[in-house]
Amino acid sequence: MKNKKLNQWLWKWHFIAGLISLPFVILLAITGGIYLFKDKYEAPKQAHIKTVKVEGKAMSFDEQWQLAKPNLHKPPYAMVIPIEENQATAFSSGMFSHKTSVFVNPYKAKVSGKISPKYSGMHTVRKLHGELLLGKFGTKIVEGIASWMFVLIITGIYVFWPNKKEGIKGFFKIRFKKGKRILFRDLHAVFGFWVSILLLMTLAGGMPWTDVFGGNFKWLQEVTQTGFPKTWSARGVQSKIKGEAITLDDMVALAKSMHLKGEVSIGLPSNPKGVYSIYNTTFNLGAQKRFHFDQYSGEQLVSHNWEDVGVLMRSRMWFMAFHQGQFGLWNWALMLFVALLLAFVAMAGLVSYLKRKESGKWGTPKVPVSFKAGYGIVAIIVVLGIVFPLFGGSVLVITLVEFMRERKKSKGLTI
């Protein structure tokens, strides 16, 4: 049997977490669902740049490389090997939202166009989803909300958990004939419970992008050496300058002979001591490989498999890919389902609250004065506050406000 007083106390914190998070949760669910359609939205808009007409003999990859250079602000760091004959060759510079890709038509020896994420409509959706279009400040708001969502889910599971009398039926019970408040309460609770595990996994995939938690997680990877190997991105790997550099076409031929899965790219040397790299991008993460070669002799200097990546980074990359629905149609459909259900659960909770709330009052659940949180509960809050610092900071603020409120009440003042 559940502890009744503890249940009331957790219900109060579930309410507070919901009140803080609700409007943002709905926004994040809607924008996340829209962003899942990124590839379908962008594909037809970019087809005229990425697709070319096959006519005559294609120019060499070295010639295409030279053609791409003056069309980028910075020298390209990578080239994606075309899979089809009618596919333009992509050369990229910059990282993340500053990334720009130039596409070369190898038959007409000209640039067919440029693509940069920051000029896409979906980039705005992503910025709204990740930082509310408020830059670093917005990122911290989203991180704080995501932290409180963990609390929402944990407290919600305990509060909802049926007692022995209800048994297994309690996990599916929706009362359609008890009025709208009870109906929407049950819709919120039942659907929220069944989607909770998926929500925790989705949140775990989003947290590495945050500023504070993400920065701490990155630090932990470095301290425990559970991130990428130092030479994963060719850091510290150098060529020995000797004679003429081998051609990009030779590297493409070598890459094709490896039969790597997914999209295969050639990392381009940025200076005389730089190296060529061959690597693949695939969401069959275990199939990812990286090879670095001396640009003059062609000697393989370093090779890495996915097993060389530390456990924290592997977990991080898996959850981030899951968060974006990148493991195939099943994953994409599942994330769309989670986004839609999260928005529905949040709105059902709002309707239930508005129908319960008395005019002029917040409707905060009452907790018996005699109840004191045990050491175990306090320990859990402290741990959550350390793992999610913005949650910890907000709990301190709320606790201080509650303390001042009770102090004023004890002096006969009202607030």
Query: How do the pLDDT tens digits run along the chain, 415 residues long?
Result: 577 888 888 998 899 889 889 999 999 999 999 999 999 999 999 999 999 999 999 999 999 999 999 999 999 999 999 999 999 999 999 987 789 999 999 999 999 999 998 888 999 999 999 999 999 999 999 999 999 999 899 999 999 998 878 888 989 999 999 999 999 999 999 999 999 999 999 999 999 999 999 999 999 999 999 999 999 999 999 999 999 999 999 999 999 999 999 999 999 999 999 999 999 999 899 999 999 999 999 999 999 999 999 999 999 999 999 999 999 999 999 999 999 999 999 999 999 999 888 887 788 888 887 788 888 888 999 999 999 999 999 989 988 887 887 787 777 654 4
> Which pair of structure tokens corresponds to residue 68?
């791409």
The whole-number pLDDT of residue 165 equals 80
Q: Say if CB 355 and CB 181 are below 8 A apart.
A: yes
Does residue 93 belong to any structural domain of this protein? yes
AA letter at 320: M
Same domain, 221 and 331: yes
**Are 31 and 60 members of one domain?**
no
* 233, 304: one domain: yes
Number of separate domains in the chain? 3
Determine, yes or no, domain membership for 48.
Answer: no
Q: Are residues 30 and 146 in the same domain?
A: yes
**142 with 211, same domain?**
yes
116 in a domain, yes or no?
no
In a domain? residue 201: yes
Beta strands, E only, 181-336: 263-267, 275-281, 289-294, 300-305
Asked whether residue 145 falls in the same domain as residue 214, the answer is: yes
123 in a structural domain: no
Whether 95 and 33 map to the same domain: the answer is: no
Q: Are residues 256 and 278 in the same domain?
A: yes
For residue 69, being part of any structural domain is answered with yes
Do residues 147 and 290 share a domain?
no
Q: Do 396 and 248 sit in the same domain of this protein?
A: no
Within a 10 A sphere around the Cβ of 297, how many other Cβ atoms?
14
**How far is 393 from 302, CA to CA, in rounded Å?**
44
Q: What's the pLDDT score for residue 335?
A: 97
In-domain check, residue 125: no
Does one domain contain both 171 and 31?
yes
Residues 72, 90 contacting (CB under 8 angstroms) = no
Containing structural domain, residue 88? 53-107+228-309
Tell me, yes or no, whether 148 and 215 share the same domain: yes
pLDDT at 412: 61
**Structure confidence at residue 305 (pLDDT):** 96
Q: Tell me if 205 is assigned to some domain.
A: yes
